[in-house]
Chains A and B, each alone.
Chain A
Amino acid sequence: MKQRAAGALRAAAIPALAVVTGLMAGAVIVVVTDVEVIRAWSSFGSHPGGALAATWRSVARAYGALFEGSLGSAYAISESLVTTTPYILAGLAVALGFRAGLFNIGAEGQLFMGALASVWVGYSVKGLSPWLHLPLALAAGAAAGAIWGAIPGYLKARTGAHEVVNTIMMNYIAFRLSDWLLNGPMKRPGPGGTPGYVPISPEVLPSAYLPRLFEPPLRFHAGFFLALAVAVVVWWLLWRTPLGFEMRSVGANPQAARTAGMSVRKVYVVAMGMSGALAGLAGANQVLGVDRWVGQGFSPGYGFDSIALALLGGSHPAGVVLASLLFGTLRSGATRMQSAAGIPIDIITILQALILAFVAAPALVRAIYRLKKAAPTAGPVLTRGWGK
């Protein structure tokens, strides 16, 4: 037990250092792009103190707002957890793919399809009890995502076409399809039954709501616990079932798995389908719990962020949950940073890329902190060229 704890600690060292390094780099970016700081430094010769003070002010204002917006109040905490929820599900989607040796860049498109399907069930199926309607809407979202993910999985199994490019293409197809749906068949009618102007879907009926647990304006909803439960299920699936064993074997070494009599093709289709289902569930969760309708570009890139989450979390469900909590907190804090300190919310995207780079290049982190070379760990093997 003690050994296991030490192992987990060692496994967490690089991601933790990556996050710290990323945050520091983020501070540097905030400072060097702050016009006041640049001005103060240009008169460094006459007012050295002023330059340093301006630098400190800039960092303190930015990160102060970040903290305030993420953990500073009940509302802030609720918003952080609301953002965490789709992150957990989408992160699990990419992580599950990684474990089977598949790189699913299509989580965003799968999420869109899931959201559209669950919204459609949410507003068009009428007169059901919440006990039936909500699960049905969630299932529709998962199913739509599963189909969207299984197509590239099938193509990889059947023809060897690489899932990275195909999932990216499926993303663009999903965006166009959702544009068309929201401007056509799923467009919300305007007053008096005239065609509406805005490309948004009708509102989900209350019987399909994921219930909110506190009084407004707190938006924290039951979907958070659903996401945690799904994380447990994914863990159980991967490490406690024969199918999970097959997936991990194929992910570690497809040739060996094939020799052992496993159907690599089946695993590709099933794993991509499940990955898509998780991403679709993320979309369903978001619209049934928070937005309750779908508009054009409703996701601020949850699906794209999920790649970083899965890598940061070591493709382990527990790691993904922790990484999602971190990114959920950062993203909701960044909203406040934008409004209070005037720092564009895109700083979060930069932080993600930096953290991702550091996580992916442990040697780089070790070089920065002069750490000893660690024993090789058995993480999931990622892609090997264009699909071998």
Chain B
Amino acid sequence: MIRRFRPFDGTGAGAATLAAGPSARVQVRRGLGPGLVGFLLALAIVILFGLSTPFGEVSTFGLNPGGHVPAIVLPDLVVPSALGIYLMAFVAGAIGAAYLSAPRVKAGATIGISVAALTLAFLIWAVQGQSLNLLGMLKSTLLRATPIALGAMSGVLCERSGVINIGIEGMMLTAALAAVVAASATSNLYLGLLAAILSGGLLALVHAVLSIKYRVDQIVSGTVINILATGVTSYLSARFLEKYMWLNNSGTLPVWSVPGLSDIPIVGPILFENTLIVYLMLLLVIGIQVMLFSSRFGLRVRAVGEHPRAADTLGINVWRTRYLSVLLGGMVAGIGGAYFSIGSAGRFDEVMTAGRGFIGLAAMIFGNWTPAGAFASSLIFGFADSLQIRMQILQTPIPSEFLLMAPYVATIVALSGVVGRVTPPAADGQPYEK
């Protein structure tokens, strides 16, 4: 029997089936699906990559950062290509078998591990006879995950309080413009970052007023923000930035190396040699996780998002909590917007966010509305993004358009509950009326 997931259904239909009887219980508890996925991916690894790889070829992965010479130089990781690929096929098959035979192996873990094996096999296959700076790739994974994670944090803050925010994309886009203009005009990148945070907060205020005060459908309100942001940023950049080009030339935030820590092999260059925005992102992930799950304010936010009436009865000001959460969310999205202009490009281009806000939303859902989960999902999307660029350099026969599609397809697959069930806050999307 194909297992039916009910990701967004809070009716407890699954529990009803559980109570139906012992035979139903067995069927509901385990399907063959994830195990079969493991076997199919193992087969795919052998057919797609194994058969076309001659024995004796090696894939070389660099483990040192480009540019400055680290304190400890690591040797390159040299993998016999064919052997590595077959090992990955074995891993995928083994986890599939483990799922089918051992009752404790989880579906999500099974699919996760077999997909990871497929990805690694693909990497080894693509790099055979060449070399790839693995460290550089992991570093750019974190970098490319940054705006996605910030978008996801914005979503977590808003939605935990019961306000859907699909306007993250628009908030980021506006913030990207505000950052570059403020930074160029004042020649101070940190004022640019401040402008980004404020403009994100301003748009969030619009969203809050529309959806909380005027009880506009939250998805419509978010759509308004996205359209408005596209229009305003394109209008302003066509009217002013094309004429006064000095306004669109901010430079980028400098990379700060944390002394000592950045010399740790592998981890150091990835985590401790970044721009302010990456550090802020990492701090926000930890901070929001702690705030939501171990502070009084976080408890209130979650209460308001799960059962506003009960929260109101206990004396929590539902509206004020929601306003505050949405505002904070907008500011976080603003930092994410700054990443695009002053964080990496040094200038503003029309629609430069290119859907990263939406991907962030998907990462939030994928990560089950928790900061840690959303961050992990953002890393997956960031990895797909940075893989895609390297594949163009390595000249694999796969058209780059299909690799560019991968994050979007992955989002749909994730949303459709293939990996597991997700549960949004119970009052998400519902305006509160006294």
Binding site for B on A (CB under 8 A): 29, 33, 103, 105, 152, 155, 158-162, 164-166, 168-170, 172-173, 176-177, 179-180, 183-184, 304, 307-308, 311, 343-344, 346-354, 356-357, 360-361, 363-364, 382-388
Contacts and interface: CB of A to CB of B under 8 A. Distances in A.
Contacts of A177: 401, 405
A361 B5 CA distance: 36
Given A165-B411, A344-B234, A386 B424 contact: yes
Given A176-B405, A180-B402, A308 B227 contact: yes
Contacts of A388: 8-10
A23 to B, nearest CB: 14
Interface of A is mostly: helix
A165 B401 contact: no
Contact of B362 (A160, A169, A344): A169
A343 B231 CA distance: 12
Nearest to A152: B412
B256 interface: no
Contacts of B7: 159-161
A361 B216 contact: yes
B408 A385 contact: no
Interface residues of B, number: 54
A349 B234 contact: yes
Interface stretch (B38-46, B184-192, B218-226): B218-226
Residue in A172, A361, A364, A386 with the greatest tally of chain B CB atoms within 10 Å: A386
A183 B417 CA distance: 34
B235 A344 contact: yes
A354 B224 CA distance: 8
Given A161-B415, A169-B412, A353-B228, 7 more contacts: A159-B4, A165-B415, A170-B412, A349-B227, A357-B221, A383-B217, A388-B9
Interface of B: 4-10, 164, 166, 210, 214-221, 223-225, 227-228, 230-232, 234-236, 238-240, 355, 358, 361-362, 365, 399, 401-402, 404-405, 408-409, 411-412, 415-417, 424, 427-430
A361 to B, nearest CB: 4
A352 B10 contact: no
Contacts of B409: 169, 173
Contact of A184 (B239, B399, B415, B428): B399
A196 to B, nearest CB: 17
Contact of A344 (B9, B238, B424): B238
Contacts, number: 161
Contact of A161 (B227, B399, B417, B430): B417
A346 B355 contact: no
A179 B217 CA distance: 34
B220 A360 contact: yes
B224 A353 contact: yes
A155 B220 contact: no
Contacts of B355: 168, 172
Given A353-B228, A360-B224, A386 B234 contact: no
Contacts of B235: 29, 33, 344, 346-347, 349-350
Residue in B220, B238, B409, B430 with the greatest tally of chain A CB atoms within 10 Å: B220
A176 B398 CA distance: 13
Nearest to B355: A172
Contacts of B429: 383-386
B402 A350 contact: no
A91 B230 CA distance: 20
Q: Which 5 residue pairs of A and B lie closest in terms of their CB atoms, listed nearest first?
A: A349-B231, A385-B429, A344-B238, A353-B228, A350-B231
A357 B210 contact: yes
Given A311-B220, A360-B220, A384-B430, A180 B401 contact: yes
A160 B8 contact: yes
Contacts of A160: 5-9, 417
Given A172-B408, A180-B402, A33 B164 contact: no
A93 to B, nearest CB: 15
A170 to B, nearest CB: 8
B220 A176 contact: no
Residue in A177, A382, A388 with the greatest tally of chain B CB atoms within 10 Å: A388
